[in-house]
Structure 1
Amino acid sequence: MAHTKEVYVKQPPGFEDPAHPNKVYRVVKALYGLHQAPRAWYERLSTFLLKHGYRRGAIDKTLFIKKDRRDIMLVQVYVDDIIFGSTKSSMVKDFEDLMQKEFKMSSMGELTFFLGLQVKQTTAGIFLSQDKYVKDILNKFDFRTIKPASTPIEAHKSLGKDEEGEDVDVHLYRSMIGCLMYLTASRPDIMFAVCLCARFQVTPKVSHMHAVKRIFRYLKHQPKLGLWYPKDSPFHLEAFSDSDYAGDNHDRRSTSGGCQYLGGRLVSWQCKKQTIVAISSTEAEYVAAASCCAQVLWMQNQLLDYGFNFMNTEIDIDNESTICIVKNPVLHSKTKHIQIRHHFNQDCYEQRLINVVKAHTDDNVADLLTKGFDLARFNFLVVTIGMINP
């Protein structure tokens, strides 16, 4: 039987109608009240844009592109939020007029806030941060007066299941982890600590809660830290890959870390516990390199939509043996036990999609995503990876 209940929403904060502050919106059920709503809206919008000369991205289907000789117009869609920009101001104006004629939409002007990210655009570059969100979650969990900490996790700290430890409120723990995971969108400095604590959401103990509170104490110390994207820097794709070795003291699995740059701009980063138990540091690094390589290939294809061809991308690795395995396609006793899916590193190297190069351990910024550090090393990595205080 059809469900006939109507759907209403409150007026969003900051957009209340001064003449009717107590009224609510009755929404169109097809667009807002059903599970299929986002699909229905996407079909409506994409059909409209395709009809007006835009093409869909080959990798990201929510990206729409229009080219006019040497100029390009980019439209990125996230449900009913849209970011757009162009190398030609008239194309931006045409897009605004086009959308406002067809849909009841308002232009918010220059991008300053999007999906929780604060965006500050200057003539020197762009600064991304989430300090308003940091303030909100510190207030949410009543950490306004918490004692600050200089790092998000103790040096070389490794949490275990702690089966003898005292239980804590699982709902509170998961809520704290969820808030912190959202923050990692602009804070690679807390990525490792958050991912480590997130492994214990089933039965969190007091020791795990202390580790989570340590992250909040660090956020209290560094609330405004963010990513800086300088305007005048080289524009090439480069990646860094690293791994700890058997860092998990429960199952002895290693943690892969990877980060990808466009020139001096950090645009992507990963931290993930490996699915295998590596029997050497070389193997752990090799598996991490495979994960990094997969991300690089995705970015190469994505960048083709923007008109950039970045083949033979450098992946910096600080393990000489790992580089030798990638460059040597012959399987031998040290590598034959490694699962085949990790060996596509070698295929990509042979096809000149990637090139593996030696990086000094001290300069491998992906190290930040694999373990905890003392203050001096941590601060060095935070600066080197591309984070600043405004």
Structure 2
Amino acid sequence: MVQRQYGYALKVFRSDNALELKFTDLFSKLGIIHQYSCVETPQQNAIVELKHQHLLAVARALYFQSKVLVRFWGDCLLTATYIINRLPSPLLNNLSPFELLHNKQPNYTHLKTFGCSVFVSTLRNHRDKFSERALPGIFLGYSPGIKGYKIYVLNTKTIVMSRDVYFHENIFPFHNIPNASGDVDLFPSISLPQTSITHANITTEHATEVISNNIAPTDLAEHADITPEASTNEVAAEIPTDRAAEIPTDRAAGVSIESVTRSSSNEIAPMPIRVPITELAHTSSEAPHIQPAPQAPQIQPAPQIQPVRRSTRNVHKPSYLQRYHCNNISVGSNDSSCALYPIEESLSNSKLSSSYNHFIANISTIYEPTFYHQAVKFPAWQAAMNEELKAMEDLQTWIVVPLPEGKRAIDSKWVYRVKYKADGSLDRYKARLVAKGYTQVEGIDYTDTFSPVAKMTSFKVLLAIAASKDWHLLQLDVNNAFLNGYLDEEVSMKLPQGYLPESSGSNLVCKLQKSIYGLKQASRQWFSAFSKVVLLYGFHQSPSDHSLFVHGSDENMIVLLLYVDDIILAGKNVEQLQDVQAFLHRHFKLKDLGNLKYFLGFKIARNSSGISLSQRKYALNLLEDTGTLASKPSDTPITASHKLSLHDGDLLQDPQQYRRLIGRLLYLTHTHPDITYAMHLLSQFVSSPRHPHLLAAYHLLAYIKKAPALGLFFSANSTLQLHGFVDSDYGSCPDTRRSISGYCMYLGNSIISWKSKKQTTVSRSSCEAEYCAMAAATCELVWITSMLSSFHISIPHVSLYCDNQSAVHLASNQVFHERTKHIEVDCHFIRDKVRDGFLKLFHVSSANQLTDIFTKALHGPAFHGFISKMGLVDLYQPPS
């Protein structure tokens, strides 16, 4: 049915080890793999077991509320399933399973109260002029495939299906009708093996309290949970276990008798067994008579009810939980499983593809402690902290001295992170000691703090050039980079947690000789130390990006890009690259990471056709953290008919949730130019986010879920000619009526830079809006050209494509009249670039204007057409 109705072929069927579920011949014939758990190991099929608990919990609620006969337990379960499938779930992004399956919202108007009184219309062909037009009944739920209600007719004791039903949802007939004597309780509170108690180990000293049947049901409910206690009022009794099943149930009373074994020799008593009280008779108020076993004395009623008091019996973990270790946190050790029959002994992933195994690893997390007292409990984190302290001592980061009089010491803390490899597998546990720099005082503890880092555009330009020129790309990591910078100020720090200095004394502190992580000036001091070293080797610092260093030219050119403590080395000559590595090893403690594969959360893959750049693992982690891994993918990042405004909708109670989400999504735009416009739009509301803004953000997450590995591709066959596209959307902001500027720059056929931004002034025409957008794009082109000159790549002129003829003419001709005199003066520098021959402007049709995707929300076909033209690729998507 799954294949015919929904177009999906059933591949794997997983169940427990029940004999009735082994359809070996059928599965073999259909090519379906049947996986089943080990005997008495329900945790191997945990998802199904949890859903069983959910279904039974709802079914019990329906049963207790309606008080229908127990033989209708199946209808309780079917109705519970019907309701659960139509309830929104937070695990499904507040959608219902029905909506995810059928792609439409369920209809709730036909839902009725289970077990209520109804009158069902009789059929016209089965009645005469004086027969009943409707019969009383009980509502028992719904039936698949039939548009009608399932009704139990009280007069005929039959079940019928009908659409013509009149409901009394506040009346429940079974509340006043006792259960039939043949009903058996199928929802016991506990299930115990009857073989655990025998006739031989029950004596007349065992006590059981019996509550007389002349107590009203409301009184019985108050004493339903009374546990018999040993006292002088207890009556000796014996109930054979083989008779327990013959005693009928009284669901109206809901009372149980516990047979409790007590021994004078302090032996452990057998587990008690619940025995239901017999049913009340319809026509007699006499107490029912329980026929005992031949060798057992007759049960005598207790003279009075003992007062309720808390049980003093020891509480033990249930037997079905003995194999579970609760509240234990795994840190990735190789300890054996705590299950009696681990599933890895029956199933293996060895035949699965590496990409599938990596996907499982990507959506799994390892515990990262927040505080020192949490981390010190785990050997892996202890070793990481010891490694950090040893590195600080080897680098002579501090000396332990008494705190000078009149000085104050800043505090420190531990930060713990799990490092992953490029494929998502575990790399190492990293503990970092950081100073609480926010307690530093400017002018005393620090002065300047600025430190440059590599720009993302520089990183993409380097990849594009490396792909085109077939350069080698190597990656280095500086261990404890900030500890290499010397401080200019005197800074004292309290002793770190877990650090025991060799010197003794009172009021000891660490006098910092070098910078450590967390200090406001730490990154500046580290960059200063590193740049001095590389300049000694003969590198030249690029004026366009101070984190870019270039050595040599042509075939002997070596490029070094620094982002805090991560280094990329690029060049054609392998021997020169190794020589630079050796030079850096002499000055810093480095880790050689080999070929560039994983940098700042970016996955770099390379083959003969080029280099791809994606953030698949980052996207999957984001989807997992926001609970949207199971959401339905959307076709576009934002709907084309969106009406987002600053004032529409209710304010969010927790705006930090929205702000954190937007911050994480912004980092994803480095490889996802397709979501740039959506992020530009959503970022405008971080100061006062509202519910429509959060819904739009979750819609964007659903789009990311469709292709989390979508990213950039730098072709090996690309030229190094720079050109760009620019566009604007005139007056599109509903709150300010400002226009949106957008541009994208290409080096050959590889996209390297893009932006979507609201203009700073209100434009009076679409020509003016396009002209201002062209000025912003020209600034970016000038900067990229300057950076390319650091690579010894000469760009005599660049081409800029615009779809507004008026703006092209305005930039190409020195005109001044009433329509242009108010334009900001800085926008007119574009005319100088055109006059100097640096910039060549061309008109392009709107159908080929790639920048449309950065200025407005598009419909699905147009949106995906622009994505294909931009050269974005998904390496994990199978070829069509």
Specify whether residues 156 and 297 from structure 1 end up closer, same or farther in structure 2 by C-alpha distance, changes over 3 A only: farther
The answer as to whether partners of 2:797 and 2:837 remain within 8 angstroms in 1 is yes
Match of 2:695 in 1: 210
Equivalent position amino acid for 1:42 in 2: F
1:54 corresponds to: 539
Matching residue of 1:310:
795
Bigger drift between 198-207 and 317-326 goes to 198-207
Correspondence for 1:369 among 854, 866, 869: 854
Aligned to 1:76: 561
Counterparts of 1:6-25 in structure 2, within 5 Å, are: 10=416, 13=419
Letter in 2 for 1:157: H
Measured in 2, the distance between the counterparts of 1:25 and 1:202 equals 33
Partners of 1:33 and 1:178 in 2: how far apart? Answer: 21
* Corresponding residue number in structure 2 for 1:38: 523
- Other-structure match for 2:722: 237
Counterparts of 1:22 and 1:347 in 2: how far apart (Å)?
A: 53
Check conservation: 2:416, 2:429, Cα contact below 8 A.
Answer: no
Pick aligned residue for 1:162 from 642, 647, 668: 647
What do the CA deviations read for 1:203-249 (whole angstroms, capped 9, x no partner)? 11111111111100101112111111110022200011001111111
Question: Which deviations, in whole Å up to 9, do the C-alpha atoms of 1:37-63 show, x marking residues without a partner?
Answer: 111111111111111111111211111
Measured in 2, the distance between the counterparts of 1:230 and 1:368 equals 22
Query: Is contact 1:153-1:215 (8 Å) kept?
Result: yes
Question: Would you say how many aligned residue pairs link Structure 1 and Structure 2?
Answer: 386
1:93 aligns with 2:93: no
| Structure 2 counterparts to residues 1-390 of structure 1, below 5 A | 1-3=407-409, 5=411, 10=416, 13=419, 28=483, 29-67=514-552, 70-163=555-648, 165-390=650-875
1-side partners of 2:659 and 2:697: how far apart? 10
Structure 2 CA distance for partners of 1:261 and 1:151, relative to 1, 3 Å: same
Q: Does structure 2 conserve the Cα–Cα contact (< 8 Å) formed by 1:121 and 1:127? A: yes
Between the aligned partners of 2:432 and 2:670, the Cα distance in structure 1 is 33
Q: CA deviation at 1:168?
A: 4.6
Q: Distance in 2 between matches of 1:387 and 1:22?
A: 34
Partner of 1:298, secondary structure, is: helix
Q: Is the 8 A contact 2:515 2:525 kept in 1?
A: yes
Q: Which structure's relative contact order is higher, taking Cα pairs within 8 Å and 6+ residues apart?
A: 1
Distance (Å, rounded) in 1 between the aligned partners of 2:412 and 2:654: 37
Structure-2 separation of matches of 1:332 and 1:48? 56
Q: Take 1:347 and 1:168, find their aligned partners in 2: how far apart are those partners?
A: 51
Cα deviation digits, residues 145-181 of structure 1 (max 9, x gap): 1121000011153421134534352000101100110
SS of match in other structure, 1:199: helix
The CA distance in 1 between the partners of 2:674 and 2:845, in whole Å, is 20
Amino acid at match of 1:50: L
Distance 2:650 2:415 in 1: 44
| In 1, Cα distance between equivalents of 2:431 and 2:693 | 45
Whether the aligned pair in 1 keeps the contact of 2:548 and 2:561 (CA below 8 Å) is yes
Distance 2:420 2:870 in 1: 36
**Deviating more after overlay: 328-337 vs 135-144:** 328-337
CA contact (8 A) 1:31 1:40 kept: no
Distance 1:33 1:21, change over 3 A: closer
Give the whole-Å Cα distance in 2 for the aligned partners of 1:170 and 1:347: 46
User: Which one-letter code corresponds to 2:573 in the other structure?
Assistant: K
Residue-by-residue CA offset, 1:35-89 (whole Å, 9 max, x unaligned) = 1111111111111111111111121111111105642100001111111111211
Q: Distance in 2 between matches of 1:24 and 1:186?
A: 29
In 2, the alpha carbon distance for the partners of 1:109 and 1:9 equals: 27
Q: Are residues 152 and 69 of structure 1, via their aligned partners in 2, closer, same or farther at CA, if it must alter by over 3 Å?
A: closer
SS of residue paired to 2:595: coil
With structure 2 as the length reference, what TM-score do the two structures score? 0.43
**So what's the TM-score if we normalise by structure 1?**
0.94
Q: 2 CA distance for matches of 1:161 and 1:24? A: 41
Q: Distance in 2 between matches of 1:265 and 1:184?
A: 16
Offset, 1:129: 0.5
Larger helix proportion of the pair: 1
How far apart, in 2, do the equivalents of 1:230 and 1:22 lie?
A: 36
Of residues 26-35 and 317-326 in structure 1, the stretch that sits farther from structure 2 once superposed is: 26-35
Larger radius of gyration: 2
Give SS of 1:84's match.
strand
Contact 1:157 1:371 (C-alpha < 8 Å) held by counterparts: no
Indicate the SS of the match to 1:109. Answer: strand
Gaps of 5+ in 1: none
Deviation readout 1:266-289 (Å, 9 max, x if unpaired): 000011001111111111111111
Q: 1:45 to 1:320 in 2, by over 3 A?
A: same
Gaps spanning 5+ residues in structure 2: where? 1-406, 422-427, 435-479, 484-513, 876-880
8 Å Cα contact 1:170/1:204 also seen in 2: yes
Distance change >3 Å, CA 326–CA 153, structure 1 → 2: same
SS of residue matched to 1:335: coil
- Give 3-state SS (helix, strand or coil) of 2:723's partner: strand
Deviation larger for 67-76 or 187-196: 67-76
Deviates more, 1:154-163 or 1:338-347: 154-163
How big is the shift at 1:13?
3.2
Do the aligned partners of residues 319 and 74 (structure 1) sit closer, same or farther apart at CA in structure 2, a change above 3 Å counting?
Answer: same
Looking at structure 2, the residues matched to 341 and 231 of structure 1 have their Cα atoms a distance apart, in angstroms, of 38
> Whole-Å Cα distance in 1 between the matches of residues 417 and 627 of structure 2?
28
1:99-126 superposed Cα distances (whole Å, 9 cap, x missing partner): 1122110110011111111111111100
* d(CA) in 2 for partners of 1:53, 1:358: 45
Q: CA deviation at 1:6?
A: 5.7
Contact 1:278–1:284 under 8 Å retained in 2: yes
Contact 1:316 1:356 in 2 (8 A): yes
Q: Quick one: structure 1 residues 254 and 69, their matched pair in 2 at CA, closer, same or farther if it must change by over 3 Å?
A: closer
**Does structure 2 retain, via aligned residues, the 8 Å contact 1:168–1:209?**
no
Deviation, 1:14, is: 5.5
Instruction: Assess, with a 3 A threshold, how the Cα gap between structure 1 residues 133 and 22 changes in structure 2: closer, same or farther.
Output: closer
